[in-house]
């Protein structure tokens, strides 16, 4: 009797484990089991999946010493400091994400200047791991739109999940991105996961994503200061195809896309409020 009971228990345990494995395999194949939607597939760019691990001697060693010079600083009287800081805050507080952009052309010198401003951002070990691709060609802009809308439809219907889609309803967004055609300029910001030295060896780019993100923040402020509008877009899973379209090397990964221009006459934005100072600042 005991032998029979042991045999039944063993069979039951095998059945439980077998079904548990089966359910795990089924979950792997289900749409909901895909990678978390906020982890962009460009971080796992398929074009370099088969590249071999880099050998240690492929990486460039630290460069020689850099000359240090006296720091030049402009100090303002306290009243002027307060005035300048208040005016700068008021300027940036008017910044909005605008999805209705006019096709009116913008001065390219302004675009050059705002990108130069973005290029002043700090970066890990001063590696400056950013590439700004400016697209004006209507055909290329339309190809970008086709790629993004194709992926964004999948994002909205499958990858993003019901909660994310629900949270976006108040902004009246969907996968249709007309501004990618109408905006006179598209700026695509790529992070360089590593660079190359003059001798062809790879150069480490420390904190490349944080560095490029800081640069994007400065770019947004510079655009606002120049009187232009944009909307920050980070289209999921579009990076590899856009990188190929724009002929960018495999060490560059798309971080952000900004359509830039003047607001259209019928531009609308959500009536949002921002958190107050006591909600975002803690003093110790």
Q: What is the pLDDT of residue 126?
A: 93
pLDDT at 143 over 50: yes
* 241-256 residue pLDDT tens: 999 999 999 999 999 9
Using pLDDT thresholds of 50, 70 and 90, give the confidence band for residue 59.
confident
The answer to whether residue 46 is domain-embedded is: no
Q: What is the pLDDT of residue 280?
A: 97
User: CA 136 → CA 126, 140, 144, 260, distances in Å?
Assistant: 30, 8, 11, 10
Residue closest to 117 by CA, chosen among 226, 207, 255, 194: 226
According to DSSP H, which parts of the chain are helical? 2-29, 78-93, 108-118, 138-154, 161-168, 179-182, 208-226, 239-245, 277-280
* 46-58 residue pLDDT tens: 334 334 444 556 7
Residue closest to 189 by CA, chosen among 266, 262, 135, 241: 135
CATH number at residue 109: 3.40.109.10
Determine the average pLDDT of the residues in 186-191: 98
The answer to whether residue 32 is domain-embedded is: no
Determine the average pLDDT of the residues in 69-82: 96
The answer to whether residue 118 is domain-embedded is: yes
pLDDT at 260 over 80: yes
The answer to whether residue 41 is domain-embedded is: no
CB atoms within 10 A of CB 156: 17
The answer to whether residue 91 is domain-embedded is: no
The answer to whether residue 64 is domain-embedded is: no
What residues make up the domain containing 231? 97-266
Domain count, the chain: 1
The answer to whether residue 222 is domain-embedded is: yes
- Mean pLDDT for the chain? 84
The answer to whether residue 49 is domain-embedded is: no
Determine the average pLDDT of the residues in 5-23: 53
**DSSP 3-state assignment of 130?**
strand
Q: What percent of the chain has pLDDT over 90?
A: 61
Q: What is the pLDDT of residue 23?
A: 44
């Amino acid at each position: 009797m005991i032998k029979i009971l042991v045999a039944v228990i063993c069979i039951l345990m095998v059945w439980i484990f077998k079904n548990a494995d089966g359910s795990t395999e089924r979950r792997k194949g289900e749409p909901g089991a895909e990678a978390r939607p906020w982890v962009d597939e460009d971080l796992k760019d398929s074009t370099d999946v088969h590249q071999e691990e880099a050998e240690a001697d492929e990486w460039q060693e630290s460069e020689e010493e850099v000359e240090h010079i006296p720091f030049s600083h402009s100090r303002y009287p306290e009243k002027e400091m307060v005035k300048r800081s208040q005016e700068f805050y008021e300027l940036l507080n008017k910044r909005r994400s605008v999805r209705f952009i006019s096709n009116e052309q913008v001065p390219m010198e302004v675009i050059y200047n705002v990108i130069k401003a973005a290029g002043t951002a700090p970066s890990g070990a001063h590696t400056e791991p950013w590439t700004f691709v400016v697209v004006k060609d209507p055909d290329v802009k339309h190809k970008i739109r086709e790629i993004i809308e194709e992926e964004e439809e999948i994002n909205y219907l499958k990858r993003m999940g019901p909660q994310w889609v629900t949270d976006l309803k108040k902004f009246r967004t969907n996968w249709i991105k007309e501004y990618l055609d109408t905006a006179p300029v598209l700026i695509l910001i790529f992070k360089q996961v590593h660079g190359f030295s003059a001798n062809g060896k790879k150069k480490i780019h420390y904190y490349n994503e944080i560095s490029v993100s800081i640069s994007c923040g400065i770019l947004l402020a510079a655009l606002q200061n120049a009187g232009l509008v944009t909307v920050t877009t980070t289209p999921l899973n579009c990076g590899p195809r856009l990188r190929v379209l724009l002929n960018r090397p495999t060490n560059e990964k798309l971080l952000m896309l900004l359509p830039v221009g003047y607001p259209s006459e019928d531009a609308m934005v959500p009536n949002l409020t921002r958190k107050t100072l006591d909600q975002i600042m803690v003093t110790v």
